[in-house]
Structures are given as C-alpha cells and as structure tokens.
C-alpha cells in the first residue's frame, strides 16, 4: 500500500533522514522506532507532505505522492495525527471533527447551507467511536491533554482514510491513558480494517501492537521486520545501547 | 450545536433593533440621523474586515483600499459617465472584489505579518493613484457633489438605503459565518497546518474569503458615497485601515456581531470627543490599553461571555 524508497532529507547540513526504506501492507499495523532524533517525525512529515524530500520516492497505491501538497495527499487517503496536540482550540469538539468530515465530502467551500445540518451523522459516530460524545459541545482548547490527543485521532478519522499515520499517539500520556489509546487504535484497525503507521517511544506498547517494525537510527533504516526478529536483532540492540 | 442557525433570542433582538432604527429618523435631529448612517456604513466595513481577520486569521492590514475602490468606482461612474447612477452603485462592489482578487493572489503567497506588509504596499499604490491623478480622480481634493439617484439623495433616503443594505449584508454574512465555508475558515484561523493535513486547500479557501470580504467592503464604499455624496483619498489611506482593524479588536474579533459595536464606539468617539479636541485618539489609546488588560475578547465578546453564551465559539484560556 505504501512504499518508501531511499528517502533523503537534510536541513542545512544536518541529515535528518538519509536512506530510509519502509513498506506498509494493507491492513497492517506498522511501527517506526528509534532513539530520539532518529528522524521519525521527519519521515512522517515527508510522507504526509508537510516536508518535501531531497531524494527518494514515496509511493501510495501505485502513485508517487512525494511532490504533492499535504491536502492532496490527504485526499488520496492518508490522514495523520501530530506529536503535539494539533487541534482547533476555539472550535467545539464537534466542529473540530465536522470540519474534517466536510473536507472529506468536498463540502468545505459550500457557502449557502448551514453547516449544522451537514455531516452530522458521520461526526456523531466518530465521536462515539473514540468516546468523546459527551464532550461534543466543549471548546477543544479547554479539553484535558489526553482528550485533546484523542480528538486529534478523531479529526484524522473524519477524513475516512485508508492509511492512518500517528506520530507518537501516546506522547505525554499517563500509563492508563496510554492503555486506553492503544486499545482504541487497535480496535480501529480491527473493526474498520484501517492500516496504521505509527511511531512510539514505549517499546512495550510497540511490541504488543505492531505486526511489523521499522528501526531507524540517525536517519537511516536499520531494518524492517516482525517483532520477534527485531527483538532479537543484535544490530538493533547495539544502536539502542549507543554502540553503533 | 443542535440549535437552529438563528438562535431565537438573538434573532428577536436583531429584529427589534432594526425596527427601532427604522422608526428613528422622524423623531431624531438630522445630525444624529447622519451619524447613525455613518455608523451603518462603518459597521458594514468592519464586519467585512472581521470575516478575514477574526474568522479567517489573515492579517488584512489594508482593508480600506477596497472600501476606497468601491467608493471611487461609484463616484467616478456617476460623475464621469452618463450611465444611470444605480449602475455605479452596483459596479462598486464588483470592482472592489476584482482588486481584492488581484492583490489577494500576490499576498496569499506570504503568511501572517508578511501578508499584511505586502497588502499595505499594494494598497498604498492604489492610494497614490487616487491621491495624484488630479485629472481623473480629483487628487487630494477628491470628488464632491456626486449626483445620486433622487430616491436616495436626501439624508433620510440615504439613511434607509444604508439600513436596508446593512440588514441584508449582515444576514448574508451571518449565513456565510455559519456555513461549511465559514466553519472551515475558522478552523484555518485556529490551525492552518492541521487544515492542510485534513485535505483543505488553505490558500484557495483564504483567497475566496478575501474576495467575499472585499466585495462587502465595496458595498460599504458605495454606501459611503450615498451618505456623503463625495469621495476622497483618505478612504484608501492605510491609517484608516488601521482604524477599522481596531474596530474589530474593540468589539470582539472572535464574535460575529462585535465589529458593529467597535464601529459604533469609534464613530461616536471621533464625532463627539473629536468635537472638543482633535486629540480624540488619546481617549482611544487609553481605551485600547484598558481593552488589552480587561477585555481581551472585546466589548461584545465580554458581554457574550457574561451572558454565558458559548455559541459564538469564544476563545477560552486554557492553562
């Protein structure tokens, strides 16, 4: 479904991503791991178009998407969440998701119909799914941190994506919230057949959830394999122990 | 969210105010009728600006340019051509929107402050044309004694014309505010990066907003001609644009109706305090300081918050 081949990106002299390879099959849950500064977020920003690569190719459903602007990539079926809660703070929770659903339905530029009548069912069902229904009328900016992160995922779901890219979905969460969020993500994968690409610090979380793990170190792909292979790989252990 | 587009209370209030305003001219001294008409015109201008500033998050620093283009188009067509006067009134808004589109195409490539700076420069070019081209625009004298259609040439006629158009425009602007377009625009204001990531073409959306806002600024410009019977380059001067910007902040830029209050306050200050001292801006400055410290949501924003009305999507501090 998604193939990343030989991707490079530098900022001035710093090579954030150099020679990254990644394959995501439909229906899979794929994790990207690596120490701080390995280039995980840069990789995600390249995939969803926030950044443009210097070299390499990103292919989604047989189409090269690495030159497209973010909104075009989203329209092709890749939605994402951000590491820092990236929501619409002055809008209600309902509106946050509705705007995303309206965009997916290509109704964002409708001028002469009240928005309150549109995309209501879809928005309600997403809020229900992620468990934010009772907070629908709250202003998003006044939500607790954990809820804002959940809303972040709900906004991404509004786009009805094939591939969901989650940049550290449990960053800054308590152990309990982390558990709830991972259960939610796994449920989305199971029930809706969503393909999920995520990165995560918590190794326990990663090895429990992912079917395939890509290990990055200093911007380079070390390997991509199943959890057991990765777990036992000497190469991976070395890079985590600082031996590389 | 499940409530109607027009909250019955707000709608009733708006209707009551409109009806009251319709019955005022016969009982009010002529001067006050004129001042009210000026407030209507300025309120519409501030509302149109707030669509891009308060709801769109764009640094539209030179909105006056489009107001001026609307006014000058109407004024020039009514004095320099033999076309019926009504055509000038209709052409004004379209000319303003066209200029809005042309300037917008350039400005939209830049973001935030840079957008505003470029707009001030391009808008000032238009001001320079109006200010210097004596043979065509009348230069710094402007154009006076513009012949208006007889129905609206009296102060009372002008008053009703402005009131009716203001009511229609507010209705349309409110509809846009509540439409998917308006909702998306507010989302862009809150977080343009996120909007791109949910499939919204942010620049195109902003450009459409600019064209709509400048169209309404053009209507306000035309109404100015109706009220004053003249045009002059001050309308296009960037300092005036700043005044309109302040009206939005003063009234409450995250609310829908706030700019109306901002415009009423500014026009009243200029007229009544300005009658005693030319330093009326001193009072304005002091008011702005108080505003920043005590009413960061603006006058109307503050009142709405007091009334516990969350429907206007007021921004709440999250600590």
Range A1-77+161-244 has CATH code 3.40.190.290: no
Distance CA B283, CA A111 (A): 40
Question: Which has the minimum average pLDDT: A41-45, A110-114, B245-249?
Answer: A110-114
Residue indicated by tokens 């000026």: B38
User: Structural domain boundaries of chain B?
Assistant: 8-237
What pLDDT score was predicted for residue B6? 61
Among the residue ranges A107-121, B164-178, B223-237, the one predicted with the least confidence is: A107-121
A151-209 per-position pLDDT tens digit: 999 999 999 999 999 998 888 888 888 888 888 898 888 888 899 999 987 788 888 88
**Is pLDDT of B3 > 50?**
no
Q: Are B148 and B229 in contact (CB under 8 A)?
A: yes
Please give the sequence-ordered ranges of beta strands (E in DSSP) within chain B, or none if there are none: none
At A244, the pLDDT band (50, 70, 90 cuts) reads: very low
Q: Is the pLDDT of residue A79 over 80?
A: yes
Q: Please judge whether B313 and A92 are an interchain contact, meaning their C-beta atoms are less than 8 angstroms apart.
A: yes
A29-33/A63-64 β-pairing: unpaired
Q: How do residues B59-87 score in pLDDT, each as one tens digit? A: 989 999 999 999 999 999 998 888 887 88
Q: Interface of chain B against chain A, CB under 8 Å?
A: 1-5, 175-176, 178-184, 186-187, 189-191, 193-202, 205, 208, 254, 310, 313-316, 318
B315/A102 CB distance under 8 A: no
Which stretches does DSSP call E strand in chain A? 2-11, 14-24, 29-33, 55-60, 63-64, 78-81, 163-167, 195-199, 212-217, 220-225
> Residues A86-96: pLDDT tens digits?
899 999 999 99
DSSP state of A213: E
End-to-end CA, chain B: 25
Is A90 near chain B, with CB under 8 Å? yes
Chain A residues touching residue B187 (CB < 8 angstroms): 88, 91, 95-96, 99
Residues A1-14: what's their mean pLDDT?
Answer: 89
Output the pLDDT for position B185.
94
Which residues of chain A make contact with B175, given a CB cutoff of 8 A? 111-112, 114
Q: Where are the alpha helices (DSSP H) in B230-317?
A: 238-251, 258-268, 280-294, 298-306
**pTM strictly above 0.90:** no
Instruction: Tell me the three state secondary structure of residue A24.
Output: strand
Residue A71 contacts residue B201 (beta carbons within 8 Å): yes
Among the partner residues B181, B191, B316, nearest to A108 by beta-carbon distance: B181
pLDDT mean across residues, chain B:
87
ipTM: 0.87
- Structure confidence by residue, pLDDT tens digits, B246-294: 999 888 888 888 899 999 999 998 888 888 888 888 888 888 888 888 8
For the cut 80, the answer to whether the pLDDT of residue B1 exceeds it is: no
Q: Tell if the CB–CB gap between B179 and A115 is shorter than 8 Å.
A: yes
Instruction: Tell me if B179 and A111 make a contact (CB, 8 A cut-off).
Output: yes
pLDDT at A241: 63
Q: What is the largest CA-CA distance in chain B?
A: 63
Q: List the single range of A69-83, A179-193, A230-244, B59-73 with lowest mean pLDDT.
A: A230-244
- What are the residue boundaries of the structural domains of chain A, listed by start? 1-77+161-244, 90-158
Q: What is the pLDDT of residue B311?
A: 44
Confidence of residue B308 (pLDDT cuts 50, 70, 90): low
Q: Which residue of B has its CA nearest to A95?
A: B183
Q: B175 and A109: CB-CB below 8 Å?
A: no
Query: Encoding tokens for residue A141?
Result: 């900016």
Average pLDDT over residues B40-55: 93
| Rounded mean pLDDT, A19-44 | 89
Mean pLDDT (chain A) is 88
Determine the residue among A44, A90, A96, A104 to mutate to test chain B binding: the one whose Cβ has the most chain B Cβ atoms within 10 Å: A90
Can you tell me the distance from the alpha carbon of B169 to that of B158, in angstroms, rounded to the nearest whole number?
16
- Confidence at residue B209, expressed as pLDDT on a 0 to 100 scale: 95
Across the strands, what pairs with B114? none
Identify all chain A residues contacting B5, using CB atoms and an 8 Å cutoff. Answer: 114, 116
Q: Give the separation between CA B72 and CA B82, rounded to whole angstroms.
A: 16
Q: B-chain residues within 8 Å CB-CB of A163?
A: none
Report pLDDT digits (tens) over B95-125.
Answer: 999 999 999 999 988 888 899 899 999 989 9
Average pLDDT of A109-133?
88
pLDDT-based confidence at A77, cuts 50/70/90?
very high
Predicted pLDDT at A242: 57
Minimal C-alpha gap between B190 and chain A (Å): 5
> Could you give the 3-state DSSP secondary structure of residue A199?
strand
Among the residue ranges A144-158, A223-237, B38-52, B158-172, the one predicted with the least confidence is: A223-237
Q: How far is CA B65 from the centre of its chain?
A: 11
The CA distance from B133 to B151, in Å, is: 31
């Amino acid at each position: 479904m998604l193939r990343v081949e030989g991707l490079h990106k530098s900022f001035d002299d710093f090579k954030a991503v150099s020679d990254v390879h990644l394959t995501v099959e439909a229906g899979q849950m794929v994790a990207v791991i690596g120490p701080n500064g390995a280039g995980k977020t840069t990789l995600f920003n390249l995939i969803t178009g926030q950044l443009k690569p210097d070299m390499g190719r990103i292919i989604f459903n047989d189409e090269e998407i690495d030159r497209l602007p973010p909104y075009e990539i989203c329209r092709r079926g890749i939605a994402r969440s951000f590491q820092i809660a990236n929501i619409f703070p002055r809008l209600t929770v309902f509106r946050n998701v509705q705007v995303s659903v309206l965009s997916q339905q290509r109704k964002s530029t409708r001028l002469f119909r009240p928005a309150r009548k549109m995309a209501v069912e879809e928005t309600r069902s997403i809020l229900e799914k992620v468990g934010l229904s009772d907070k629908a009328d709250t202003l998003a900016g006044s939500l607790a941190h954990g809820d804002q992160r959940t809303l972040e995922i709900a906004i991404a779901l509004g786009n009805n994506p094939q591939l969901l890219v989650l940049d550290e979905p449990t960053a800054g969460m308590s152990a309990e919230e982390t558990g709830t969020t991972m259960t939610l993500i796994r449920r989305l994968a199971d029930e809706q057949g969503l393909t999920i690409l995520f990165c995560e610090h918590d190794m326990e979380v990663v090895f429990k959830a992912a079917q395939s793990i890509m290990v990055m170190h200093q911007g380079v792909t070390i390997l991509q394999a199943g959890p057991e292979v990765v777990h036992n790989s000497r190469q991976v252990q070395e890079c985590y122990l600082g031996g590389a | 969210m499940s409530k109607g587009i027009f909250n019955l209370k707000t709608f009733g209030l708006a209707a009551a105010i409109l009806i009251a305003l319709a019955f005022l001219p016969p009982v009010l001294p002529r001067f006050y009728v004129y001042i009210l008409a000026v407030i209507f015109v300025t309120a519409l201008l501030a509302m149109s600006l707030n669509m891009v500033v308060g709801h769109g998050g764009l640094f539209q620093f030179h909105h006056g340019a489009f107001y001026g283009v609307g006014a000058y188009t109407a004024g020039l067509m009514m004095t320099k051509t033999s076309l019926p006067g009504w055509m000038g009134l209709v052409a004004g808004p379209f000319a303003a929107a066209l200029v809005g589109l042309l300037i917008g195409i350039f400005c939209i490539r830049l973001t935030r402050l840079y957008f505003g700076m470029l707009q001030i420069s391009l808008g000032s070019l238009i001001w320079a044309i109006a200010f210097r081209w004596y043979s065509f625009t009348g230069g710094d004298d402007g154009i006076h004694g513009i012949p208006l259609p007889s129905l609206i040439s009296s102060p009372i006629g002008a008053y009703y014309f402005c009131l009716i158009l203001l009511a229609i425009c507010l209705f349309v602007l409110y509809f846009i505010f509540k439409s998917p377009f308006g909702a998306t625009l507010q989302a862009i204001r809150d977080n343009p990066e996120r909007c791109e990531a949910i499939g919204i073409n942010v620049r195109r959306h902003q450009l459409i907003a600019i064209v709509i806002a400048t169209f309404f600024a053009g209507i306000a410009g035309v109404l100015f001609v109706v009220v004053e019977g003249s045009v002059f380059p001050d309308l296009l001067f960037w300092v005036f644009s700043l005044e309109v910007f302040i009206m939005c902040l003063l009234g409450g830029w995250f609310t829908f109706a706030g700019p109306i209050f901002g415009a009423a306050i500014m026009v009243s200050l200029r007229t009544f305090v300005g009658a005693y001292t030319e330093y009326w801006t001193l009072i304005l400055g002091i008011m702005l300081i108080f505003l920043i410290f005590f009413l960061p949501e603006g006058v109307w924003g503050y009142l709405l918050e007091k009334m516990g009305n969350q429907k206007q999507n007021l921004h709440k501090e999250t600590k």
